[in-house]
Structure 1
Amino acid sequence: MARPARRSRALSQNFLTDRATARRFARLAVPQGRPAPLLLEVGAGEGALTDTLAPRCRELHAYEIDPRLVPVLRARFSGTPHVRVVGGDFLAARPPRTPFSVAGNVPFSRTADVVDWCLRAPALTDATLLTQLEYARKRTGDYGSWTLLTVRTWPRYDWRLLGRVGRHAFRPVPRVDAGIVRVERRPTPLLDAAAHRSWCDLVELGFSGVGGSLHASLRRAHPRRRVDAAFRAARLDPGVLVGEVAPERWQRLHRVLALRDRE
């Protein structure tokens, strides 16, 4: 089977070539005994992940933006009727209305856009993505710090780092290792709709930036005595930086500063 002469730099292509990694990724994306009714694959490339994901799905839509690779994929999976190769940009796809999963080796330069697409899809159940390792660690709190996106979405999504993939598992070899990040919608949100709105407002305020101090940022909208009480409830030092506050402690802050007003 012929391969394209070279990767497309514009598309940020680094093809996964290590078979053991592909099998491991498939097990993490679709655990044994939990077949995905519908799985959308981002950036199928030459089909390394498609091949391992297909047996675990009832229906698989493999998206590939590079027109040189689409006929290669269609030929490879011509005998697999439940695999549909879609030529085009995954980000331009309309999310399915029925529950579905997302998986794929995401071009590093498009990771944020792909994650945003997933979080905006009402019927998404989970997304398991190969991303730049630094992105995966930042989003999942592996550095001991948490980003605005992670905290803001925490009541509805669980973020987890499932593993590390060495850069030599890809061709051409990228400059950095990759990580496997999983974003899973909670079966029951931690907050109802009204409380979720106040959660987002609180988190946005906290990350709005007064020298990185969460305490100072929150005092712009709440009396100092209330902020002090919330910090005591969350067992936080007033000098803590906003990125150092774990989502669980945000829940205690929210309970004192927002939910108490509803009681």
Structure 2
Amino acid sequence: MGLRQPPLRLSDELSTDPEHGDGLLGPAAIRDLAQQLELRPTKTLGQNFLHDANTIRRIVRTADLGPDDVVCEVGPGLGSLTLGLLPACAHVTAVEIDPMLAEQLPRTVADRLPRYADRLTVVTADALRVTELPGPPPTALVANLPYNIAVPVLLHLLELLPSLRSALVLVQAEVADRLAAGPGTPSYGVPSVKAAWYADVRRAGNVPRPVFWPVPNVDSGLVALTRRPSPPGDRAATFAAVDAAFATRRKGLRAALARWAGSPAAAEVRLRAAGIDPTTRGEQLSVTDFARLAATAPVPDGGR
């Protein structure tokens, strides 16, 4: 998708709106900008744009950024959160899949916060396929993630960017619960374990539906992550064990891991070698347990 009209500048009225004197985009500015761009938000790209200044300030405050932080933002859209982040950190690298929005974002920043315009780098790309980012390594991820791909994007960036020390992401409330869940809780599952490989994860609050345009049909929540050393072991092998364990949640691990290990007997041997009761279910294991299990030696011929 390309620009349908000459390069857009926000009107002087919007730029000097006393309600948004700090440069943030309010509901009127968001709708005006979208109208001038002839933008029709799509569910495919997960386009639900923040337009509430207080929510944006709250997100930036919760992210607890320092003046030296370099922020990676995914899906900046019309720039609402970007405008809140720029004064709070050293630089923002924004990854936007929509070429039209990526082209417009620097203009919006130049109109609303001209003195911070040099702190912005825009990368036109699919965040799931990014293999490197220009400029200084990001130290924080702060983003209103597209809800349909939030977990894959988060995990991809945590793996791709070891420089990330923290993350604060806005996701669907149900996904937020899953990411922050601990072993033995109802929401605990694959996202919980995989996120825990990289970081300590906690819920950081709820975000109401009306602060978005268009208004989503799901509730939203903030998730905060603080990087810590990963457990000893191989990430890919651990994640394979996690996927197998949760593929059939109602089964004990001896049965659930049968294909992964080669047979139920082989699964039992490896579970016992890792000090795990074979009748336990995957929901009871921590990421450290899964890493220890993945590190056990495969059983020759599947234990047959």
Task: Give the structure-1-normalised TM-score.
Answer: 0.76
Where does residue 148 of structure 1 map in the other structure? 190
Q: Among residues 221, 227, 234, which one is paired with 1:185 in the alignment?
A: 227
- Residue 189 of structure 1 deviates from its aligned partner by 2.8
| Correspondence 1:230 to 2:276 | yes
Which amino acid in structure 2 is aligned with residue 54 of structure 1? Answer: L
Structure 2 unaligned residues grouped into runs of 5+: 1-9, 11-31, 258-263, 298-304
RMSD of the alignment, in Å?
Answer: 3.3
Match of 1:90 in 2: 127
Distance of 1:54 and 1:145 partners within structure 2: 34
In 1, Cα distance between the equivalents of 2:274 and 2:151?
A: 35
Offset of 1:181 from its aligned partner?
Answer: 1.8
One-letter amino acid of the structure 2 residue matched with residue 50 of structure 1: T
Deviations 1:183-209 (A, max 9, x none): 3321x3332x46x67644653453353
Q: Retained in 2: the 8 A contact 1:36–1:56?
A: no
How many Å separate the matches in 1 of 2:206 and 2:80? 18
Q: Which residue does the alignment assign to 1:8?
A: 41
2:202 to 153, 160, 175: 160
Q: Which residue of 1 aligns with 2:153?
A: 114
Cα distance between partner residues in 2 of 1:183 and 1:144:
20
- Structure 2 counterpart of 1:135: 175
Q: Which amino acid aligns with 1:95?
A: E
**Identical aligned residues as a percent:** 29
Report the CA distance shift for 1:109/1:208 in structure 2 as closer, same or farther (over 3 A).
closer
CA deviations 1:45-89 (Å, max 9, x no partner) are: 222111111122211122333344345422222222112233443
Aligned to 1:154, the other structure's residue is in SS state helix
Aligned to 2:256: 217
- In proportion to residue count, which structure has more helix? 2
Equivalent residue runs for 1:14-33 within 5 Å: 14-29=48-63, 31=64
Q: Distance in 2 between matches of 1:43 and 1:68?
A: 12
Partners in 2 of 1:88 and 1:228 — Cα distance?
Answer: 42
Find the counterpart in structure 2 of residue 75 from structure 1: 107
Judge conservation of contact 1:96–1:123 (CA < 8 Å) in 2: no
Q: Which amino acid is the alignment partner of residue 4 of structure 1? A: A
Q: Distance in 1 between matches of 2:194 and 2:102?
A: 37
Larger radius of gyration: 2
The Cα of 1:106 is off from its aligned counterpart by 1.5
Match among 170, 174, 179 for residue 216 of structure 2: 174
Q: Quick one: structure 1 residues 162 and 215, their matched pair in 2 at CA, closer, same or farther if it must change by over 3 Å? A: farther
Shift of 1:150: 2.6
Residue 50 (str. 1) matches residue 82 (str. 2): yes
Q: Structure 2 counterpart of 1:20, which letter? A: N
Q: Match of 1:69, SS?
A: helix
Provide closer, same or farther for how the CA distance between residues 133 and 223 of structure 1 changes in structure 2, counting only shifts above 3 A: same
SS in 2 for 1:182: strand
Q: Between Structure 1 and Structure 2, how many residues are aligned?
A: 246
- Partner amino acid, structure 2, of 1:167: R
Q: Which one of the candidate residues 86, 94, 97 is aligned to 1:62?
A: 94
Query: Distance in 2 between the 1:169 and 1:222 partners?
Result: 50
Q: Is the 8 A contact 1:215 1:227 kept in 2?
A: no
Distance in 2 (alpha carbons) for counterparts of 1:205 and 1:12: 29
TM-score (norm 2): 0.67
